């Protein structure tokens, strides 16, 4: 038997209503803030991610699915969404229409060690906002993430953490300070951190290993070494969040795993998730557009892990919405008439399950019961001859004969229109 690749999962019909709900709320809420959806390709030139995400990041060094196509080009499945959106921004010269506000949804691919809440194909919903440099934009974006997460039902368990990662003026001198500190304490660091200490020293600050956490407890932190511009930006952001009464925590050790961030960085964690507790993460990337060859444009964005949201919200199985009608034909001629009648009813907006695979009346009615349909329609030879059907209202057990031609009108009036996509909640 061939099974899914390790770390890759089907999303089965049972879970789909929850996913549709999460996507529908994103569409509605991000729309309130003026964001439009964008759909970018699932694979890009490898160079895009190497340049945008950063050649020394874990993602690019060890997590990408990279392959060469038949023409010999090196391509990679996207490990995240921002690189592609920035590429699209530059490619379409969107700097002429600022601000540009877009959101995306879809699968991402990273070769990581699979565990609960961590997969090799996973899904993100994310937003990117191009144009404003002002912390007002940061505050509005953070308010939007929190509104979304609260709306879907997570309010109680969430913590918003923020930090500032400085800018090209203040980060390099701070980075030197940090490297000097790390050299002194190198023997206490894990192998990974000893390795990345010179190339990506900030990453050491959010290493999850106990020994590293102890070793860096007294390390210098970026927010103590911000330039005046970054200090002002960060304090205005904090002011706006206080104004909005959005609780937050400053985490000076939070750095993001992608190189492109500057100034505002943030993460939303949830207590319900164990080790993989980040549900959303993002930050400012004012230099990335220019770095990718575009007209310099500040930007900020975030991404949410959908599997983790689904884990938090999944309170048991979702039952599929039952059909309005279960159509039970007896015999070949009745099946033909049933197929046509089912189509007529669907054209009127009704949800109809046509019995497939024959069976006695008794077994068909059993299936009708299991489907939880409100009505069953039975057609046999005798009914065909008389041009009628037998209609049974399942909950009441009452049945009546009605004329074939009156079935659509009667059912439409009784059932009204079906509602799509409200299976959840
Ligand atoms: P983590 O620290 O959990 O590895 P990250 O910093 O790599 O997260 P980002 O690249 O910022 O995460 O992605 C944003 C969100 O996407 C994360 O907060 C998380 O919810 C989700 N996510 C990231 N990697 C995975 C994965 N392998 N499987 C499932 N969800 C993921
Ligand atoms: Mg990661």
* Closest residue by CA, ligand 1 atom 20: 305
Q: What angle do CA 129, 132, 136 make, to 5 degrees?
A: 95
For residue 52, being part of any structural domain is answered with: yes
pLDDT tens by residue, 384-421: 999 999 999 999 989 999 999 999 999 988 886 444 44
CATH number of domain containing 98: 3.30.930.10
- The residue assigned the tokens 């309005």 is 324
For residue 343, being part of any structural domain is answered with: yes
For residue 191, being part of any structural domain is answered with: no
Q: Check whether 156 has a pLDDT greater than 80.
A: no
Quick one: average pLDDT of 305-317? Answer: 82
The pTM score is 0.86
Question: From the CB of 202, is ligand 1 less than 6 Å away?
Answer: no
- What local confidence, expressed as pLDDT, does residue 421 receive? 42
pLDDT tens by residue, 87-124: 999 999 999 999 999 999 999 999 999 999 999 999 99
Euclidean distance between CA atoms 177 and 200, whole angstroms: 13
CATH number of domain containing 336: 3.40.50.800
Contacts with 414 (C-beta within 8 Å, 6 or more apart), sequence order: 375
- What local confidence, expressed as pLDDT, does residue 266 receive? 97
Percent of the chain with pLDDT over 70: 96
Ligand number, closest to the Cα atom of 113: 1
pLDDT tens by residue, 363-378: 999 999 999 999 999 9
Quick one: average pLDDT of 167-183? Answer: 94
Residue 120 contacts residue 8 (beta carbons within 8 Å): yes
- What local confidence, expressed as pLDDT, does residue 423 receive? 42
Q: Are residues 303 and 327 in the same domain?
A: no
Q: Are residues 283 and 368 in the same domain?
A: no
Quick one: average pLDDT of 353-359? Answer: 94
CB atoms closer than 10 angstroms to residue 185: 18
pLDDT tens by residue, 203-247: 899 888 889 989 999 999 999 999 999 999 999 999 999 999 999
For residue 177, being part of any structural domain is answered with: no
Q: What angle do CA 401, 402, 406 make, to 5 degrees?
A: 170
Query: Could you say which of 292, 316, 340 is where a domain stops?
Result: 316
Structure tokens given for 160: 């918003």
Quick one: average pLDDT of 330-354? Answer: 94
Q: What backbone torsions phi and psi does residue 70 show, to the nearest 5 degrees? A: -65, -20
Q: Which atom of ligand 1 is nearest to the CA of 280?
A: 18
Q: Are residues 36 and 161 in the same domain?
A: yes
Q: Are residues 259 and 145 in the same domain?
A: yes
Question: From the CB of 281, is ligand 1 less than 6 Å away?
Answer: yes
Euclidean distance between CA atoms 226 and 263, whole angstroms: 9
Residue of 253, 268, 303, 309 best suited for mutating to test ligand 1, as the one with most atoms within 8 Å of CB: 303
Question: From the CB of 259, is ligand 1 less than 6 Å away?
Answer: no
Q: Which atom of ligand 1 is nearest to the CA of 110?
A: 27
Query: Could you say which of 316, 342, 371 is where a domain stops?
Result: 316
- What local confidence, expressed as pLDDT, does residue 385 receive? 95
* 305 CA distance to ligand 1 middle (Å): 6
Q: Check whether 333 has a pLDDT greater than 60.
A: yes
Q: Are residues 398 and 292 in the same domain?
A: no
- The residue assigned the tokens 């009813």 is 345
Question: From the CB of 312, is ligand 1 less than 6 Å away?
Answer: no
pLDDT tens by residue, 246-294: 999 999 999 886 778 899 999 999 887 777 789 999 999 999 999 999 9
Q: Are residues 60 and 156 in the same domain?
A: yes
Euclidean distance between CA atoms 78 and 110, whole angstroms: 8
* Strands lying side by side in the sheet with 299-305: 36-37, 100-109, 121-130, 299-305, 278-284, 262-270, 158-164, 249-250
Question: From the CB of 268, is ligand 1 less than 6 Å away?
Answer: no
Query: Could you say which of 284, 316, 348 is where a domain stops?
Result: 316
- The residue assigned the tokens 């349909």 is 373
Which residues are paired to 313 by β-bridges? none
For residue 381, being part of any structural domain is answered with: yes
Q: Are residues 288 and 325 in the same domain?
A: no
Count of structural domains, the chain:
2
Q: What backbone torsions phi and psi does residue 354 show, to the nearest 5 degrees? A: -90, 130
- What local confidence, expressed as pLDDT, does residue 315 receive? 59
Structure tokens given for 370: 């299991």
Q: Are residues 325 and 266 in the same domain?
A: no
Q: What is the mean pLDDT of the chain?
A: 92
Contacts with 375 (C-beta within 8 Å, 6 or more apart), sequence order: 324, 325, 326, 391, 392, 393, 394, 411, 414, 415
CB atoms closer than 10 angstroms to residue 379: 24
Q: Are residues 369 and 243 in the same domain?
A: no
* 207 CA distance to ligand 2 middle (Å): 11
Euclidean distance between CA atoms 124 and 161, whole angstroms: 19
Q: Are residues 145 and 30 in the same domain?
A: yes
- What local confidence, expressed as pLDDT, does residue 420 receive? 45
Radius of gyration (C-alpha) of the chain in whole angstroms = 28
- What local confidence, expressed as pLDDT, does residue 416 receive? 67
For residue 28, being part of any structural domain is answered with: yes
For residue 279, being part of any structural domain is answered with: yes
Q: Are residues 326 and 249 in the same domain?
A: no
Q: Are residues 346 and 281 in the same domain?
A: no
pLDDT band at residue 200 under the 50/70/90 scheme: confident
Residue 27 contacts residue 145 (beta carbons within 8 Å): no
For residue 272, being part of any structural domain is answered with: yes
Euclidean distance between CA atoms 44 and 66, whole angstroms: 10
Q: What backbone torsions phi and psi does residue 93 show, to the nearest 5 degrees? A: 50, 45
Domain membership of residue 393 as a residue range: 321-414
């Amino acid at each position: 038997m061939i099974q899914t690749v390790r770390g890759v999962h089907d999303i089965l019909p049972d879970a789909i209503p929850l996913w549709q709900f999460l996507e529908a709320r994103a569409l509605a809420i991000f729309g309130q803030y003026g964001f439009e959806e964008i759909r970018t390709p699932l694979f890009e030139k490898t160079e895009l991610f190497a340049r945008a995400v950063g050649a020394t990041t874990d993602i690019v060094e060890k997590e990408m699915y990279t392959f060469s196509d038949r023409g010999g080009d090196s391509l990679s499945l996207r490990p995240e969404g921002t690189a592609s959106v920035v590429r699209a921004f530059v490619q379409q010269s969107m700097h002429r229409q600022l601000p540009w506000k877009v959101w995306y949804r879809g699968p991402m691919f990273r070769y990581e060690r699979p565990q609960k809440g961590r997969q090799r194909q996973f899904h993100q919903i994310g937003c990117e906002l191009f144009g404003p440099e002002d912390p007002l934009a940061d505050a509005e974006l953070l308010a939007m993430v929190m509104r979304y997460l609260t709306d879907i039902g997570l309010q109680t368990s969430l913590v918003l953490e923020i930090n500032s990662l400085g800018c090209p003026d203040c980060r390099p001198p701070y980075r030197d300070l940090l490297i000097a500190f790390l050299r002194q304490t190198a023997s206490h660091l894990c192998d990974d951190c000893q390795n990345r200490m010179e190339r990506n020293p900030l990453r050491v600050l959010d290493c999850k290993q106990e020994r590293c956490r102890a070793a860096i407890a007294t390390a210098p932190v970026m927010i103590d070494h911000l330039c005046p511009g970054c200090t002002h930006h960060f304090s205005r952001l904090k002011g706006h969040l206080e104004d909005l009464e959005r609780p937050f925590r400053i985490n000076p050790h939070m750095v993001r795993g992608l190189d492109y961030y500057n100034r505002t960085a943030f993460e939303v964690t949830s207590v319900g998730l164990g080790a993989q507790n980040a549900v959303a993460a993002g930050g400012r990337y004012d230099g990335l557009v220019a770095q990718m060859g575009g007209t310099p444009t500040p930007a900020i964005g975030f991404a949410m892990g959908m599997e983790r949201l689904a884990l938090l919200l999944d309170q048991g199985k979702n039952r599929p919405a039952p059909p309005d009608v279960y159509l039970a034909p007896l015999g070949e001629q009745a099946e033909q008439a049933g197929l046509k009648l089912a189509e007529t009813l669907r054209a009127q907006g009704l949800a109809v399950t046509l019995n497939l695979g024959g069976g006695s009346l008794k077994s068909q009615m059993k299936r009708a019961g299991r489907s939880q349909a409100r009505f069953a329609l039975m057609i046999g030879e005798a009914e065909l001859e008389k041009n009628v059907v037998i209609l049974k209202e399942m909950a009441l057990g009452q049945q009546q004969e009605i004329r074939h031609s009156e079935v659509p009108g009667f059912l439409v009036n009784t059932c009204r229109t079906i509602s799509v996509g409200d299976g959840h909640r």
